[in-house]
Amino acid sequence: MNEELAGNRHSHTALLLRQYARDLAQIAPSSDLDARIDALVAAGRQNSPASHGPVRRPRRLLPFAAAAGIAALAIIFGILIGMRLEQSRELAAANSGQTHEPAWPTADLTMWPSDSVSFKIPAEYSAQGTLVAVDPNTRNTSTRYWIDVVVSNDGTFRIQKIVPADPKQKQGAPDGIAPHIQ
């Protein structure tokens, strides 16, 4: 039974193969195929960019250039805004209620012009209640202050402001303004 079925399938496949061979034998290239290919190639040359002058750069770079330009502008504006915010933060800190002038400030009775220098000195109150300058690189033993000092070449030395140091700030002088404590 199985051998009979296998024999039928084989003969059917052989029949199909013979028909396919006959079809292949009948196929012949079209006589105008080459002419049509030439026409298509010629038409393609006429429509190509080379036929319109110099080669243009692909426009794919434009979006990248635009994005880079926008990013550069955003960075510049970001830096400017950051600088403004930093300045306003410093100003707010300077004007905050914690900042105070020394009690009984010395009177400025300067009449003649002079040159002056301002700088900050880190200091803490001693047990005797006096302000004592401290090494900016040491850990604070009590509340630390930045003392704004103005010295002039007319012999006057003044305390301008007493500002509590920011406890979050790392030990050391802010921006290196503090003088060296011997």
Partner 1 sequence: MASRRIFSRALALLGAFGLGVLSLHAQAQDQSREAAIPDCPPAPASGSTAVAHSTPDNVRLVTGAPYSALGTSQTVTTLPDGNRVVRQNTIRLWRDSTGRTRSEFSLSSIGGPTPLEVNATVTVIDDPSTRERHMLQPDGRVVTVPIAPCRVLASNEPDLTVGPPRPAGLPLKVSQPVKLGERQLDGETVAGSRVEATIPAGAVGNDHPIKMSAEQWYGKDLQVVVEATYRDPRTGETRYKLREIRRNEPDASLFEVPAGGIKRR
Binding positions for partner 1, rule: CB under 8 A: 62, 66, 69-70, 73, 76, 101-119, 121, 123, 126, 129-133, 147-160, 175-177, 179-182
DSSP for residue 7? H
User: How far lies 62's CA from each of 18, 68, 73, 74, 79, in Å?
Assistant: 60, 10, 16, 18, 26
Does residue 149 contact residue 120 with C-beta atoms inside 8 Å? yes
- Nearer to partner 1 by Cβ, of 41 and 109: the residue is 109
With residue 170 as reference, give the H or E element that holds it.
none
The Cα 79–Cα 141 span in angstroms is 37
Cβ count within 10 A of residue 20 = 10
Residue 168 CB, nearest distance to partner 1 (Å)?
A: 20
- Nearer to partner 1 by Cβ, of 39 and 68: the residue is 68
Residue 181 CB, nearest distance to partner 1 (Å)?
A: 5
- Nearer to partner 1 by Cβ, of 13 and 114: the residue is 114
Residue 55 CB, nearest distance to partner 1 (Å)?
A: 20
Residue 141 CB, nearest distance to partner 1 (Å)?
A: 15
In this structure, what are the phi and psi dihedrals at residue 29, rounded to the nearest 5 degrees? Answer: -55, 145
Beta bridge partners of 119: 149
- Nearer to partner 1 by Cβ, of 37 and 80: the residue is 80
Residue 103 CB, nearest distance to partner 1 (Å)?
A: 7
